[in-house]
Amino acid sequence: AMGAVGCCGLQLYNFGQTVSIPYFDENWRPTSFYPKIKYNRQGGMHTLCLLDIKVKEPDFEAMKRGKIVYLPPRFMSVSESSEQLIEAEDVRKGGAYIPDKTLCVGLARLGQHDQCIMAGTLGEIKKEEFCA
């Protein structure tokens, strides 16, 4: 993943620790990625955020009925991750980033004919239908 990110123009040696952004749900909203982003930013480094995917996720309602069924695959969008990053800042209030000022680069489908790269603040990227 790190090598592919070089296509956006950011210098690879300026990246700090990589983090994963998991899907939030109504009962589970982890912000364990937040301290690493803050640490990287304090050191003047970029953070590569890997976005969650859900593949072969069981359908628990179907399992209750005795059927083994899997939900369709889901791939977190850059917009969804931006919303969750903003929520993490609202919860933690640690100043790791300022949603309407901190510049971010979103990358989607790298290496594909329809790859997409976009820069903006978290607030701007959240509002975009990112490379849909």
**Cβ contacts of residue 93 below 8 Å, gap of 6+?**
none
Q: Provide mean pLDDT across the span 55-82.
A: 92
pLDDT at 2: 73
Average of per-residue pLDDT values in the chain? 92
pLDDT in tens, 7-24: 888 999 999 999 999 999
Q: Are the C-beta atoms of 49 and 81 separated by less than 8 Å?
A: yes
Q: Are the C-beta atoms of 117 and 6 separated by less than 8 Å?
A: no
Neighbour-count burial for 91-104, b at 16+ CB within 10 Å, e otherwise: eeeeebbebeeeeb
Q: Which of 16-30, 55-69, 79-93 has the lowest mean pLDDT?
A: 55-69
pLDDT at 3: 79
pLDDT at 76: 94
pLDDT at 14: 95
Task: Match 């628990």 to its residue by tokens.
Answer: 60
Q: Are the C-beta atoms of 118 and 106 separated by less than 8 Å?
A: yes
Give percent of the chain with pLDDT exceeding 70. Answer: 96
Q: At 1, is the pLDDT very low, low, confident or very high (cuts 50, 70, 90)?
A: low
Question: Residues 46, 36, 127, 93: what is their CA dihedral angle, to the nearest 10 degrees?
Answer: -130
Q: At 130, is the pLDDT very low, low, confident or very high (cuts 50, 70, 90)?
A: low
Closest residue by Cα to residue 35 from 97, 82, 80, 81: 97
Spatial distance between the Cα atoms of 11 and 105, rounded to a whole number of angstroms: 13
